[in-house]
Amino acid sequence: MPKVTDDKFPCPICFQPLAVKLTKKDKPYLICDPCGVQVFVRGPAGIDEFNCLLERGSRNGTLSRLEEMEKRYRLSCPECGHGFWLERSLIKTSSFDGSFKGFRCPKCREIVPWEERR
């Protein structure tokens, strides 16, 4: 059974905070079920650097800043459920009057409305 630490580290794909787990030999790893990403930190130098990242992240509040960014700038398409980050290339405007309509889902191309959230 893996040991689960109190540390969190963001998924490199979706930025969801993940629990840092330890193998039997106390080597850290992450698993993001929605993305299917698995990150294993193996070598001593990598483990030391990963621990420094964890310490720096908790000291600087990196995860809480990422969570705040996700609340503001990540949408989920109501049509297909695909989650995506807001980016300029996805902006959809009206061809009639140029008004802002929302963001085009990169997966199904449906328009996803956006309201500023705080």
Query: pLDDT exceeding 70 applies to what percent of the chain?
Result: 97
**CA dist., res. 13 & res. 36, Å (int):** 10
As a three-state string, the secondary structure of 63-116 is HHHHHHHHHHHEEECCCCCCEEECCHHHEEECCCCCCEEEEECCCCCCEECCCC
Task: Name the pLDDT band for 55 (thresholds 50, 70, 90).
Answer: confident
Taking only the tens place, the pLDDT of each residue in 81-96 is: 998 888 899 999 988 9
pTM for the structure as a whole: 0.59
Task: Name the pLDDT band for 117 (thresholds 50, 70, 90).
Answer: low
**CA dist., res. 79 & res. 105, Å (int):** 9
Taking only the tens place, the pLDDT of each residue in 25-38 is: 999 999 999 889 99
Task: Name the pLDDT band for 116 (thresholds 50, 70, 90).
Answer: low
For the chain, the straight-line distance linking the first and the last C-alpha, in angstroms and rounded, comes to 40
Which tops the pLDDT comparison, 1 or 32? 32
